[in-house]
Structure 1
Amino acid sequence: MIKSIDPSRQKRFSIAVLMIVVLAVLFWTGSRYPALDEKAMMSGAIQLEDPLSFDAVVPIDAAMSTVEKIGYSTLNWLNTNKKGMTFGVLFAATFLTLMGYVTQRGFRGGFANAALGLVIGTPLGVCVNCAAPIARGMHAGGLRAETTLAAMIASPTLNVVVLTLAISLLPFYLVVVKIAVSLFIILIAVPLVARLLPDETRAPSPDVPAPQGWSAQELGQPSIEGLGLAVAGVIRDFGRNLWFILRMTVPLMFLAGFLGAVAITLLPGEMITTLPYGFLALVVIAAVGLFLPVPIAFDVVVVGVLLAAGLSHGYAMALLITLGSFSVYSWFIVTQSMGLRAANLMAGAVLISGIVAGAAVQGWHSYQSRKALELLTGEAPLTQPFMAAAASEADGSLVVTATPFAPRSASADTPFVRLEATKIGIDKPVEFSMRDMWPPFWEGRSLSSGDIDNDGDLDLVIASTEVGLYVYANDGAGQFSRVDVAGGPLDEMPVFNAVLVDVDNDGWRELVVATYRRGMFVIENDAGQLRTAEPAPLQTRADAVLALALSFGDPDQDGDLDVALGNWAAGWYRRIPGEESRNRILWNDDGVLTGARFTDLPGIPGETLSILFADINADGNADLLVGNDFEIPDYYYLGDGHGGFDAITFQDGLVEHVPTTTMGIKVADLMNDGVPEVYAVQIAGRSSGVSDRLKMQPLAQYCDAIEQADARATCQENMAIKRWYKSGNNFNPSYASKCQTLLGRQAAECKAMLIKDLAIQKRDPKVCRLIPADQWVAQSYCELHFAPPRKITSAEADAALPQIKRANVLLESETAGGPLMDSAAARGLEVGGWSWDTKVADFDNDGFQDVYIVNGTWVPNEVSPSNLFFHNKGDGTFSEASGAFGLEDYLMTAAATAFDMDGDGDLDIISQPVNGPVIAFVNAGQTGNAVVLGLSDMRGNRDGIGALVTVTDDLGVIRTREVQLGGGFMSFDAPEVHVGLGQASRIVSGKVRWADGVETPLPQALEAGNRYQVSRQ
């Protein structure tokens, strides 16, 4: 190609080449490839902050006017594209400068020139919009039309990181078709289009004449110019070319962004996922994709999101071709540089390719779906629609006793030591199979700590969807032994929540159990023996699916514990549930909890993942916080102390905003100022500029650190399935034959799960009945997916609390009861990854409460994130310190319980990962003093749930702790009050405000190093 350089311009040529290399390296290493790597890491966790951009300077709010949405979306688009567009303009000017120093700028053959464009464009890693100025500069510099058009298409479509992201998010065959069609457009369509162009367009002369410089006679020097003159000449040439590119491309860039914002705002995008496949609709969707000027990788991400939401595969394929390959901006630039004919032909080639690919994929997918159903169903009997199991809708003085802490755990290199829990006697096996690769089963099972036998040691209960319950007795030194409980009906039920709580106020903690579609139960504690053979049913909604969130408190202040049910229905693909997901409070009548008396909570039913009784306005009454996943906002209800609740509305102005995908809610005094903060966690980490606080490990290493051979083998078997199985609408029906390679239970579950996926893809609930009768869980998934959502009224929408994405929320007020404003970013708590259960406690006994977030998801991705520990620095800010504290863990984890399992005065943690063994984090800290208080209320609920303890140490620091049971995610901590004191040696004064609002002062000073039992007579 370029075999001739102007001899008089060799130094200029070398300088221009160096400029291109430096510019490309700076862009690739400082911006483009780190950003693409971050998107590849986040993959399934990416959320779009703007309909046309990854990140938003100003988030688009539904309450905005159309003009505001268009304006802000344009601003967000410009912000997202600013780095790529800057590189595009600079690269174009530099390349144009370089071309001025060469005399031959192409091959003779059109296909060879297209191949050259492929080689130039693929590594550039810029979006179709950013590639347009580069193409303008290349064409202005004299490169042939085939080269410039091929480079413009290749850069956004064939980048290796973008393709890696596509493989992680999309069915593999869609990625293969995308690559094949992109190569066809670049190597075949582009040369054919170029042949239809005039010769002067196809092989142009440079728009900007080659620089002439000063003659040797004028300079009085030899004909070979010196380095100084060469540098000056390049600067002059570059400046002139830069001004040319800026004039030609930047105004059109602003226009394209504005037009894209207009289109995306006015088009009914929410309808696309439910639109039945049709050829006319395919043409329209492909044309819209051709028009929109999207950032690099946006096509892959948005198609992944839409496909998961139910988009037809033909539409998805068309968008994969048109959305990132061409745009209105490309059309502007090609029209400007090559003419209207070239722009229309190029747009037509991309559009037709997208339409043909979409139609072909839709036909092939339908054929493969029919074949898959034949292969999977065989002679399977039809089953009737699954129905839920039948379920009917003293004087107040304090006595304080002290017990010294046990000696501290042995010191270690880090404050916590991570162990597989088998080493401390917790022998629960890994229970995960293909049936569990769908919500809620992929989200783990509950953990609950508490004293079952009243021996003073904290025991452990783990819920199981395989055997019902695992119960472990603590020997007091942090070693556990499994309790053989009597067999009963729960053995055959999928138990998700099992909570130790004294519901009958007899001093012994019962188990409240919630199952998947089998109802709820109370297991009596008979003097330390759990009567698992005779669980008493709790009356709940007849159509209830699962109470995935539970919280206990005494909101009516009658002395016994009531329970709030956070109901969940389907999640993920369905997103907006029906009335079956309405939350409810079951009222306890004098220690009898049957569910017969209840209150349904007002508002829009949501997919509730967290619920918590806590006093957020310090008025002495239990309030109720509800954390919902997806579009249905969280609800914060203020309690009146008599069982009544009023929802805080948008119009009240008391809550700035809440998360969109809330998974855990905690209320605690993080600042030691006596005013509680509300911390709500969600999927928190931006798609661009992922915080370095997020720690990622390649998914291929997921099972490597597991020590137990059986656990590791189970883990590897499931990860092998995960590599090919993308569920729901993302499923590739040609993979149906893979079920034949599995054995036993996995094979049967594979067939059932794939039939469910095919039903979702075909949008045909009748296919659900083809699932074999013994696979009722998969059939339940399938039928719930098609259950009708509940319509949202305009009044409900108007009253809803505002939502934000991609950041955790820390709501705090200057005074108790004041407006709650988000300070998470300022405090260092906005990032949490795919956050689940959250612990707020003083884990190093320095006197300040820290934050621990367990992390991860089974959603398709290429990495597994670590749990995150945010250490309270004591100045109102937090620093991520999971590595320094020994709290890293890259197993996907949703549930954990924090309690002092060895009695040494510091908090240990037990977590239950998905597809991994139970993990123990033993606190080996050697610093800081502490006291632990256990409450015993003979006039109210026995464990003092809902009580607020306020203490002052001998250094004058005041701390408050509320006794809560709930919040977080499927995690229930023993109801003890742990107070780290730092360097203080004693509590000099304090008081307890009990759940009934009565305050009682502590009768004596409390020395550090002891566990105190505080009893109200």
Structure 2
Amino acid sequence: MLLIKDRRILISLLFLLIVSITFWNGSRYPSLNDKAVMGGDMTLEDPLGFEAAFTLESTFSLVQTIFYTTLNWVSTNQKGMFFGLLLAAGLMTLFSLVQRREFKGRMSNTLFGVFLGAPLGVCVNCAAPIAKALHTTGMRNETTLATMLSSPTLNVIVLSMLFTLFPFYIALTKIAFTLLLILIVVPLFVRYVLPEQSVTAFSGINTVDCHVSSRVSSKITSPPYLNISWFAATTWFVGTYFKQLRFIVVKTVPLMLLAGLLGATLITLVPWETVVTFLKPSGYFSLVAAMLGLAVFGVFLPVPIAFDLIIVATLTALGMPVKFAMILLFTLGIFSIYSFSIIWQTMGRKAALILYAIVVILGVSAGITAHLWETYTIQVKNQQAFSQIEELGQLKRILPNYNEGVSIDEIRTLTKGKELQWQPTKKVSLSEATSTNLEIYSRPFSKKQPQTLANKTPLFHQVNAAKAGLPPPSPLANYLKVNMLPYSQLGSVAAGDINNDGWPDILVTQNGYLSLYINIAGQRFSQQKIDHLGEDQSTLFNAALADLNNDGWLDIVTSTFKQGLKIHYSDQGNFTVDFERPLPTTTDFYASALAFGDVDRDGDLDIIQGSYSHGVNSISTSQSTNYLWLNNGGTDPVFKPIALPGIPGETLSTLLSDINQDGLLDLIIGNDFAVPDTVLLGRFDNNEFHFYLAEDLFPYTTLTTMSIDSADINNDLTFDLLWAQISGNSMSSGLVKLAPERSCERLIDEQDKQNCHNIQEMRQVSQLSGLVGESACLSLASPLDQGDCIAYSVYRKIYTPHTPLSKLQKCTELPSPWISMAETCESMQTGEFTKVETTNGKPKQKTQRNILYSLEPFSQSYKEIAKPTGLVTTGWTWNARFNDVNNDGWQDLYTVTGVNTQSFTSSNLLFENNATGQFIDKTEDYGLTYFSPTTASTFLDMDNDGDLDLIAVPISNNLLLYKNDLQSNRSKSRAIAFQIEDQLGNHSGIATKITIHYGKGLAQIKELKVGGGYLSFDAPIIWFGLGHHDRVQHIDIDWPDGSRTTLKRELFANTSYLIKRTAKMGAQAD
């Protein structure tokens, strides 16, 4: 009862409770929850931490790298360390009032330490000052050590992450050896290594270390002292606490900084990539040496809490064997050079060295245990699972038919009488005499009745796609479409007026199948059957629309797996086998990126093909060669392939745009993984067009480039350039992330929800099979999925760097229907691949951030502005395109994001350009929040009402159709649109640039592009928002052939214009 009545104790307990709750709720547990959600998909910004306050540049010297790594380490640990210091001082103050600070038995004292440490949730570095405090106040050594060792390892969230990220046997091994160290080794260590601890040495609490005066301590047990006022007790607490805090800071902070410096030095000299590369022992003694060296390395590093889980999950994915991974999983985080220094300071050098050695030995033992478990249990199960592959391969696959729909005759009946008609305007005035004529036609946007909507009504509302005539996809056909690249990321969309009725239609590939949807008067879509396509379209990977024979009808270009490109020429909106033309087969696996433009200025559209092979990040192969297909013209043109300059890489995006605005088309090739992006400038030499490498035009681009776009975002009439890639996987990204299960529940459609849950099951099995092998696949319910999973489990080893070719033998033995996997593995074994050397590659590559370049007007050099504009992070971004969605005269940005194999999802994003150089995330305000993975998107004015609607393609769910309500409730915002009909060049006027002049000195420029995004192709329409302006004063037209026309006449807002260029009577077109 004396303890309860002592107000100093109550104040000390209250302080500790407030500090702990503040830390747990404000930092530790939210941070751990974020780590748990992101799991093994988290990107580490720094080799010793999750976040980097200072970016480590490749140009840094060794000293600079060590210095900034140390600063990043301090930044990462500052919250936990601050809490550790506050808590340590508080515990010293509290226990100075408590006479009994031990239990009778060693095990009881050890368990008391676990009881103190496990809930704290601080890393081993932050627990060190707490251990120092406990030891100084006279707590038993068992309690001190158990608290320090249990805090970073036995926290409930850390344990849940352990079982989520790793197979059961690995998680169990880590826990078993952790408990062995804490519950068995610690008591024995204290008994046989440390000198007998004298309790009376601490009972006076008047030593120098405790900084409590003898005058105060003499009154501790005096009953009259218990009757002091709250003010006196508080005064005592404050004075004593700050003395203890000063003591603990002086004793531990210098050692903390030294530990950070030493850890930064070690990880700089021996980075994680080197650890993976050199762990290839060839004999028994070298194996033992490697395991001991790795254990010493792991024990040394002062890493933050849960870092061990994330880095080991990453290293395992890179091919680190289980025996080595288990060593790091145990040694990282449970002890460190900082803990070592604190033990040396408080318990002596001998104790520190022996405890370090014990953790090393246990780490090696854990590695051996996991290795034996894998060898004699897991590998046997894997072999048994693989033995079933022949039988599973014989199962019949029933594939869905996506080529449903109505005939062209029925489509013509549905659209008859609903066509949008062009009306001729008055005679136009050109700026100078030319050999060409311009004919201008117009049609007004449809007028909507203004609606009374709530002030916070989103700009967009989602329309039920199925009710709008866009049928939902069938359930996922198989496991591969969830987990295996490129099958898992398919879903293209192309917009354009296929039947020339004035309404934009869409062409979609989803789950590898092609569907054509005709817009019926802006009210709904109707699927048109494409007669020549067979029942099995599963080899279709990409599809685009372009008028390749200049007949005024959009043709379809498809990419097929190992069968090259095919052109399906339009027969006035119909597509039959008689009009199908396969292009000559090249060595590529499939064309992942397409772009169109008249590069050689001969009046017809040429094709840029970006190729993709196996998705292996460290190699280059002829199957990834990119091509320019030159069009020789005519109604049935022949295309000539020309290999493009640059290192072949896994291309995901190709942008044809006049980026330097010299009148000639340039090309940017966006590559995933190690191969740098390729920047090519176009020019004519001796009347022949060539692309030339421009390696120094941009100092750096993105590592995992997926989408590239050019647009004038600040209305200075020069093009800015955006590279979008994987970003936001780090703790500091600021993106809202959901666990996949939560994202499933957000879906409206029940079939979408079911698909989503099926995907999560497959994802989890895929992650497990990547760690333990084929045996994990047998947990899937469907035998078809089991077979796919087993095949992919052996095939995925090609993605693992440093995998010995002998490990691919199983893969080469895969039967049909996995013959393509077997061929890939066999080609790798025969040496048909070239390892990419990118040390001096240009441009340099940046990770985990987008790149946005703006042209400086005076220096004529590019300045990188992604961070100040707010576009540096957009998630796992597939497609990112600029459009003016609110018609205010400024280009906004919409991105689609996500991947099924990640342990978290983030939403598609809409960034509003606020006209001051800033892009503001308005996703929720605009009604576009959507957390399921989405690959492609296009904006189009579906209903001709003067605002841009949106169609996006989720990987596995219904198409997303969003109607823009701008004209329903914000009628002051106006727009103007332009279409081109060029009888002197390519018919659709692709690569035409239009500059509008309006208001008081205002101007905008846009370029007509087809390409640049990932599997996304916009309709050939140039769209300008005008804000409150009701007209354009004049326009400049820069034609694809390099000529310019100035149209000096007013053009009115809320109108779409068709500009037709023809030759004057008697004039010869070039």
TM (norm. structure 1) is 0.92
C-alpha contact 2:166 2:313 (8 A) present in aligned 1: yes
1:313: which partner in 2?
A: 322
Q: In 2 relative to 1, CA 294–216 (structure 1 residues): closer, same or farther, beyond 3 Å?
A: closer
Give the whole-Å Cα distance in 2 for the aligned partners of 1:886 and 1:131.
45
Q: Is the Cα–Cα contact under 8 Å of residues 45 and 834 in structure 1 kept in the other structure?
A: no
More divergent stretch after superposition (607-616 vs 640-649): 640-649
- Cα distance change, pair 29–965 in 1 and its aligned pair in 2 (3 A): same
Please list the CA deviations of residues 311-346 of structure 1 after superposition, one character each: whole Å capped at 9, or x if unmatched. Answer: 112211111111111111111111111122322332
Q: 1:259 corresponds to which letter in structure 2?
A: L
Q: Which residue of 2 is the match for residue 568 of structure 1?
A: 612
Q: Is the 8 A contact 1:6 1:102 kept in 2?
A: no
Say if 2:272 is the partner of 1:249. no
Listed as ranges, the gaps of 5+ residues in structure 1 are: 384-393
Give the Cα–Cα distance (whole angstroms) in 1 for the partners of residues 566 and 315 of structure 2: 39
Shift, 1:419, TM fit: 2.7
Q: Is it true that 1:987 corresponds to 2:1032 in the alignment? A: yes
C-alpha distance in structure 2 between counterparts of 1:397 and 1:817, whole Å: 38
Is residue 805 of structure 1 aligned with residue 847 of structure 2? yes
Which residues in structure 2 correspond to 1:569-968 (within 5 Å)? 569-571=613-615, 574-590=617-633, 596-602=640-646, 604-640=647-683, 643-649=689-695, 652=696, 654-685=697-728, 687-691=730-734, 694-726=735-767, 729-739=770-780, 741-743=781-783, 745-757=784-796, 763=804, 764-779=807-822, 790-793=834-837, 797-815=839-857, 818-861=860-903, 863-926=904-967, 927=970, 928-968=973-1013
Once structures 1 and 2 are overlaid, which stretch shifts more, 83-92 or 442-451?
83-92
Decide which of 389, 392, 403 is 2:443's aligned counterpart: 403
Partner of 1:1015: 1060
Measured against aligned partners, the alpha-carbon deviations of 1:356-408 in whole angstroms (never above 9, x if no partner) come to 2222222322341332232233372899xxxxxxxxxx933221101121234
Going from structure 1 to structure 2, the CA distance change for 1:105 and 1:217 (only over 3 Å counts) comes to: closer
Match of 2:470 in 1: 426
Output the amino acid matched with 2:936.
Answer: A
2:310 to 296, 301, 304: 301
Q: Which of 340, 346, 353 is matched with 2:362 structurally?
A: 353
Give, in whole Å, the separation in 1 of the partners of 2:1009 and 2:389. 52
Per the TM alignment, residue 802 of structure 1 is displaced from its structure 2 partner at its CA by 3.0
Question: Which runs of structure 2 are paired with 1:206-221 in the superposition (5 Å)?
Answer: 208-209=209-210, 211-212=212-213, 214=215
Instruction: Indicate yes or no: 2:32 matched with 1:29.
Output: no
When structure 1 is superposed on structure 2, of 154-163 and 902-911 the one drifting more is 154-163
Q: Residue 127 of structure 1 contacts residue 295 of structure 1 at CA under 8 Å; is this kept in 2? A: yes
Taking the aligned partners of 1:1012 and 1:456, their CA distance within structure 2 comes to 12
> 1:273-312 counterparts in 2 under 5 A?
273-274=276-277, 275-276=279-280, 278-312=287-321
Indicate the residue corresponding to 1:388 in structure 2. none
Distance 1:301 1:710 in 2: 34
Question: Hey, what's the Cα distance between the residues in 2 that align with 1:200 and 1:517?
Answer: 75
Once the two structures are superposed, the pairs formed by residues 230-249 of structure 1 within 5 Å of their partners are: 230-249=233-252
Letter aligned with residue 612 of structure 1: L
Q: Based on CA coordinates, which of the two structures has the bigger radius of gyration?
A: 2
Q: Matched residue of 2:259: which SS?
A: helix
Cα offsets for 1:601-626 (capped at 9, x unmatched): 22x33322222011222222222122
Equivalent residue number for residue 158 of structure 1? 154
Of 314, 333, 337, the residue aligned with 1:328 is 337
Shift of 1:916: 1.3
Deviation by residue 1:830-877 (Cα, 9 ceiling, x = unmatched): 22121121121111112221111112122331x321111111222221
- Secondary structure of 2:491's partner? coil
Is the Cα–Cα contact under 8 Å of residues 887 and 1026 in structure 2 kept in the other structure? yes
> Counterparts of 2:788 and 2:28 in 1: how far apart (Å)?
42
Within 2, Cα distance between the matches of 1:814 and 1:533? 52
For the structure 1 residues 18 and 780, does the alpha-carbon distance in structure 2 shift closer, same or farther, using more than 3 Å as the test? farther
**Residues 869/784 of structure 1: CA separation in 2 closer, same or farther (3 Å cut):** farther
Residues 946 and 185 of structure 1: CA distance in aligned 2, closer, same or farther (over 3 Å): same
Q: 8 Å contact 2:897–2:908 — kept in the other structure? A: yes
The alpha-carbon deviation at position 975 of structure 1 amounts to 1.3
Corresponding residue number in structure 1 for 2:225: 223
Structure 1 residue 428, shift from structure 2 partner: 4.4
Instruction: Say whether residues 1:139 and 2:178 are aligned partners.
Output: no
Is contact 1:755-1:767 (8 Å) kept? yes
Q: Once structures 1 and 2 are overlaid, which stretch shifts more, 212-221 or 904-913?
A: 212-221
Matched AA of 1:872: N
**C-alpha offsets along residues 701-760 of structure 1, whole Å, 9 cap, x if unaligned?**
333354555444344333322233316643554424314x324x3343233233435787
SS in 2 for 1:666: strand
Count of residues in correspondence between the two structures: 989
- Name 1:387's counterpart in structure 2: none
Query: C-alpha offsets along residues 122-164 of structure 1, whole Å, 9 cap, x if unaligned?
Result: 2222211111111111111211111121121222122233334
C-alpha contact (below 8 Å) 1:409/1:924 kept by paired residues: no
Paired residues of 2:210 and 2:244 also in contact (CA < 8 A): no
Specify the code of the residue in structure 2 equivalent to 1:912: V
Change (3 A) 1:409 1:999: farther
Residue 810 of structure 1: how far off its partner (Å): 1.7
One-letter amino acid of the structure 2 residue matched with residue 336 of structure 1: Q
Percent same amino acid at aligned positions?
Answer: 34
What is the CA deviation profile of residues 638-697 of structure 1, one whole-angstrom value per residue up to 9, with x for unaligned ones? Answer: 222563333333xx4x43532222221111011122121111222222623341xx2333
8 Å CA contact 1:398, 1:1003 repeated in 2 = no
Which residue does the alignment assign to 2:193? 197
Q: Alpha-carbon deviations, 1:77-97, whole Å to 9, x = none?
A: 222222222222222122122
Counterpart CA distance in 2 for 1:908 and 1:130 is 52
Q: 188-197 vs 578-587, which deviates more?
A: 578-587
Q: Distance in 2 between matches of 1:315 and 1:771?
A: 29
Secondary structure of 2:889's aligned partner: coil
Amino acid in structure 1 at the alignment position of 2:609: L
**Equivalent residue, structure 2, for 1:449:** 495
Could you tell me whether the CA contact under 8 Å between 1:618 and 1:816 is conserved in 2?
Answer: no
Letter in 1 for 2:257: F
Contact 2:976/2:1023 (<8 A) preserved? yes
Task: Give the C-alpha shift of residue 944 in structure 1.
Answer: 1.4
What letter corresponds to residue 683 of structure 1 in structure 2? I
2: CA distance, partners of 1:409 / 1:142: 80
Identify if the C-alpha distance between structure 1 residues 21 and 221 changes in structure 2 by more than 3 Å, giving closer, same or farther.
closer
CA contact (8 A) 1:300 1:320 kept: yes
Contact 2:559 2:565 in 1 (8 A): yes
Q: Retained in 1: the 8 A contact 2:389–2:790?
A: no
**How far does residue 966 in structure 1 lie from its aligned partner after superposition?**
0.9
| Distance of aligned partners of 1:821 and 1:797 in 2 relative to their CA distance in 1, 3 Å threshold | same
Aligned to 1:470: 515
Alignment of 1:498-577 (within 5 A): 498-532=543-577, 535-539=580-584, 541-542=586-587, 544-571=588-615, 574-577=617-620
SS in 1 for 2:190: helix
Aligned to 1:481: 526
For residues 79 and 748 of structure 2, the distance between their equivalents in structure 1, rounded to whole angstroms, comes to: 45
Whichever residue aligns with residue 378 of structure 1, its letter is Q
What SS does the aligned partner of 1:49 have? coil
C-alpha displacement at 1:817, in angstroms?
8.1
Question: Is residue 219–residue 225 contact of structure 2 (8 Å, CA) maintained in 1?
Answer: no
Single out whichever of 432-441 and 695-704 deviates more from structure 2: 695-704
